[in-house]
């Protein structure tokens, strides 16, 4: 079992699905386990791996969930013992449980923990190999043209994906336009409810917006702020990061001092997010001076905020690299906020595209605005009051900066120039996007690129975006007959 930690958990899920065990499953204290129904694989980003299983343990039949982990200790290290989503788990199946018999829910209920390695029909290596093949087949089946598209001319495939990349760019621009109109309307109607609680009425959809409506810096600041926070949340925390930014309006940060902006912004964000620890009930020796400062600083601002507050259970840490923990991402977001509110970030972006002529220089300058080096408390922490094993060099690295530029800044600035009738600058910004080569990688994009035999085409952002559009709107929806590549191959 020495290498068990290197085995991807999804392969253990394949083993659980097959149920091809060599003998009767038993708990550590000898009770028989009869799996009546393995449950349904959880497609969500969080929660137990299998939902609504039926398992007879001893003389009692249970209905609930099954959690699959590599090691017994993962239950606690992944926070399942604190997460209410795991309160319905009835069995904890792991590869290695170090002879431990139980884990506990947040309610204190005991759950049997068993080692599946004790019951496999073949040796562990063969089981893992089978699981890898099964998972691989599932993945490949999402693109039925895999074995046939090599016959299609590479330029034809590239041109189709190029067009999809432009479509995706335009869709982002349209979403930003809709959001700006919402922000304008909310302000004009003097809506006092938190920004996520209202419903737009018929007046909004019938309203004609003028160019002057968009000539308000704070609506553009709010747009970039909440879109950037969404991007910093990655897939697992993007919705709650966006909700946080929608609730805590950019105007609140304008009253912060330039000198203490980061501390004050982090105090606001961490307290409203619900990620702040309970300072009052924690012993002094377990609470850093930084955490105490956040708590004390919040007392100066909490009366100025009347929106909702989130709670820690809404945030996802499980299966994330520590550098991607929401705590670290919020720290990076606070520094982007300072650039937006205090350092005229949007003005600098517009000036660079307006006045600089060399595309490469423009891209390098824009990228530098969004790369945030690690500093302060969060340089050496992934979570509150537990030092990180290794320092965090960047809160936002070049890969994530590229994602922000391609998905947010370039579409938003193109829209800005269009609204204010600066056609040449709008076209210039689109051209920057079309010639952009990004440092970031994406497993989905890599797979699509490989399946289409396009080698390193994904490095060009317009093709990168086109491959995402292809997979999400055609391949994953079985729309082969509506896809140019599918039509060519399948007739």
Q: Tokens 């599932």 — which residue?
A: 138
* Helix (H) or strand (E) segment spanning residue 57: strand 50-57
DSSP 5-36: GGS-HHHHHHHHHH--BSS-EE-TTS-EEEEE
Mean pLDDT of the chain: 87
Q: What's the angle, vertex CA 196, arms to CA 407 and CA 296, rounded to 5? A: 95
Stronger pLDDT, 106 or 139, i.e. the higher one: 106
490 Cα distance to chain centroid: 35
Q: Residue 152 — very low, low, confident or very high, per pLDDT cuts 50/70/90? A: confident
Query: Residue 306 is encoded by which pair of tokens?
Result: 């009347």
Q: Name the pTM for this structure.
A: 0.71
Closest C-alpha to 271, from 254, 288, 247: 247
Highest average pLDDT, of 39-43, 197-201, 432-436, 437-441, comes from: 432-436
* Helix (H) or strand (E) segment spanning residue 265: helix 261-273
Range from 79-83, 215-219, 331-335, 402-406 carrying the lowest mean pLDDT: 79-83
* CA–CA separation, 107 and 87 (whole Å): 7
Q: Is the dihedral of CA 396, 399, 402, 406 positive or negative?
A: negative
* CA–CA separation, 380 and 211 (whole Å): 47
Q: Residue 140 — very low, low, confident or very high, per pLDDT cuts 50/70/90? A: very low
Residue 278, pLDDT above cutoff 60:
yes
**pLDDT digit string, tens, across residues 235-251:** 889 999 999 999 999 99
Phi-psi category of 447—alpha, beta or left, where left has phi over 0 and alpha has psi -120 to 50? alpha
Phi, psi of 60 (to 5 degrees): -115, 135
Do residues 14 and 130 touch, judged by C-beta distance below 8 A? yes
Model pLDDT, residue 146: 72
* Helix (H) or strand (E) segment spanning residue 114: strand 110-115
**pLDDT digit string, tens, across residues 88-110:** 999 999 887 667 889 999 888 99
Q: Residue 4 — very low, low, confident or very high, per pLDDT cuts 50/70/90? A: very low
């Amino acid at each position: 079992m020495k290498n068990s930690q290197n085995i991807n958990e999804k392969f253990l899920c394949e083993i659980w699905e097959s149920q091809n065990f060599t003998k009767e499953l038993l708990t550590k204290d000898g009770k028989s386990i009869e799996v009546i129904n393995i449950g349904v694989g959880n497609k969500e980003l969080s929660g137990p791996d299998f939902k609504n299983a039926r398992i007879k343990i001893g003389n009692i039949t249970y209905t609930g969930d099954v959690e699959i982990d590599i090691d017994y200790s993962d239950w606690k290290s992944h926070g399942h013992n604190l997460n209410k989503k795991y309160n319905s788990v009835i069995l904890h199946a792991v590869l290695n449980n170090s002879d431990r018999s139980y884990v506990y829910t947040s309610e204190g209920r005991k759950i049997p923990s068993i080692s599946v390695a004790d019951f496999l029909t073949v040796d562990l290596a063969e089981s893992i190999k089978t699981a890898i093949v099964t998972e691989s087949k599932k993945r490949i089946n999402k693109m039925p043209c895999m074995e046939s598209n090599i016959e299609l001319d590479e330029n034809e495939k590239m041109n189709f994906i190029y067009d999809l990349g432009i479509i995706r760019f335009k869709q982002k621009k349209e979403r930003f336009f809709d959001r700006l109109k919402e922000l304008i309307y909310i302000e004009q109607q003097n809506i006092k409810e938190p920004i996520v609680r209202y419903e737009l009425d018929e007046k909004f959809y019938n309203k004609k917006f003028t160019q002057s409506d968009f000539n308000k810096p704070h609506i553009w600041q709010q747009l970039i702020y909440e879109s950037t926070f969404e991007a910093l949340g990655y897939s697992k925390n993007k919705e709650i990061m966006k909700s946080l930014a929608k609730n805590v309006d950019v105007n609140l940060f304008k009253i912060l001092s330039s000198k203490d902006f980061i501390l004050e912004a982090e105090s606001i964000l961490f307290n409203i997010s619900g990620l702040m620890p309970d300072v009052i009930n924690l012993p002094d020796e377990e609470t850093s001076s930084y955490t105490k400062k956040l708590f004390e600083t919040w007392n100066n601002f909490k009366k100025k905020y009347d929106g909702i507050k989130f709670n820690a259970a809404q945030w996802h840490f499980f299966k994330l690299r520590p550098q991607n923990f929401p705590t670290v991402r919020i720290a990076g977001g606070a520094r982007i906020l300072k650039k937006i509110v205090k350092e005229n970030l949007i003005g600098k972006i517009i000036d660079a595209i307006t006045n600089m002529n060399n595309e490469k220089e423009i891209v390098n300058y824009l990228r530098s605005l969004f790369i945030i080096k690690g500093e302060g408390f969060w340089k050496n922490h992934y979570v509150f009051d537990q030092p990180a094993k290794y320092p965090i060099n960047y809160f936002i690295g070049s890969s994530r900066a590229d994602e922000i530029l391609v998905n947010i800044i370039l579409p938003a600035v193109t829209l800005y120039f269009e609204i204010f009738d600066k056609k040449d600058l709008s076209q210039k910004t689109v051209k920057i996007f079309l010639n952009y080569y990004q440092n970031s990688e994406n497993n989905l994009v890599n797979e699509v690129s490989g399946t289409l035999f396009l080698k390193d085409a994904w490095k060009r952002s317009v093709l990168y975006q086109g491959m995402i559009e292809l997979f999400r709107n055609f391949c994953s929806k079985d729309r082969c007959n509506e896809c140019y590549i599918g039509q060519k191959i399948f007739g």
